[in-house]
């Protein structure tokens, strides 16, 4: 049996091939995707990020860790290709315009999907109108977006403003996360939800969709 803590250690040590191989083995052993992320990939990448911030590793090292994470996420996604969770609600994800870092967004997307919600992943550097159009076209209940850079925080405010201007604020909720994002900021710009990390953003999005589904079912009775 694969020890998920070994996946975390491998990712922390920026071992790309080793990490993805262990993730593939964990999937074959029917370990849940949620557990692989919570106990392996997420603590591993967070440890690598801390090492980089503390100048214990160099840019090539953190890039190798991010590649390892993205390769592992591809493996997890391929194991869920035939699942249809659209009846449980939909969430639009992406990074705000200008932000091209993708690992946190990828982690959020696959975790939400593993918890039974359909994800419309728009990728990185997503314009505001693309978020809104996707949410309307797909009848998504929530837009969950993130940024790693302070310079891109105004995009989140512009998204809330655009939803208000289109009278969509009650229909489409906003959920923001990322390194420079705070609860105070989210409250100030009128966001519906704030998440301090990738795990929390997935939990909040899934919880909201499930509550909305239960409410709709109660109205239909």
pLDDT of residue 86: 60
Backbone angles phi, psi at 92, to 5 degrees: -95, 130
CB atoms within 10 A of CB 216: 10
Look at domain 4-78 and name its CATH class: mainly alpha
pLDDT of residue 151: 93
Q: What is the pLDDT of residues 33-50, one digit of tens each?
A: 999 999 999 999 999 999
Q: Does domain 86-220 have CATH number 3.30.465.10?
A: no
Buried b (16+ CB within 10 A) or exposed e, 34-67: eebbebbbbbbbbbbbebbeeeebeeeebebbbb
pLDDT of residue 84: 61
Domain ranges of the chain: 4-78, 86-220
Residues 6+ apart with CB under 8 A from 15: 64, 68
Q: CA 179 to CA 146: how far, in whole Å?
A: 9
Give 180's DSSP letter: T
Residues of the chain with pLDDT under 70: 81-87, 214-221
pLDDT of residue 220: 39
């Amino acid at each position: 049996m694969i020890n998920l803590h070994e996946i975390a250690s491998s990712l922390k040590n920026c071992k790309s091939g080793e990490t993805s191989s262990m993730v593939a083995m964990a999937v074959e052993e029917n370990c849940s995707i949620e557990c692989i992320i919570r106990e392996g990939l997420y603590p591993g990448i967070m440890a690598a990020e801390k090492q980089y911030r503390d100048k214990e590793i160099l840019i090539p090292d953190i890039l190798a860790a991010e590649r390892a994470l993205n390769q592992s996420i591809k493996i997890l996604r391929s194991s869920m290709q035939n699942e249809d969770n659209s009846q449980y609600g939909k969430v639009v994800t992406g990074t705000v315009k200008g932000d091209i870092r993708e690992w946190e967004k990828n982690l959020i997307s696959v975790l939400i999907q593993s918890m039974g919600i359909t994800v419309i992943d728009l990728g990185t550097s997503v314009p505001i109108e693309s978020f809104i159009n996707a949410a309307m076209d797909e009848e998504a209940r929530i837009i969950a977006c993130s940024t790693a850079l302070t310079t891109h925080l105004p995009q989140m405010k512009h998204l809330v403003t655009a939803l208000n201007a289109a009278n969509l604020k009650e229909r489409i909720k906003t959920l923001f996360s990322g390194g420079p994002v705070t609860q105070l900021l989210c409250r100030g710009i009128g966001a519906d939800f704030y998440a301090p990390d990738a795990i929390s953003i997935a939990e909040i999005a899934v919880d909201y969709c499930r509550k909305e589904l239960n409410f709709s079912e109660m109205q239909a009775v």
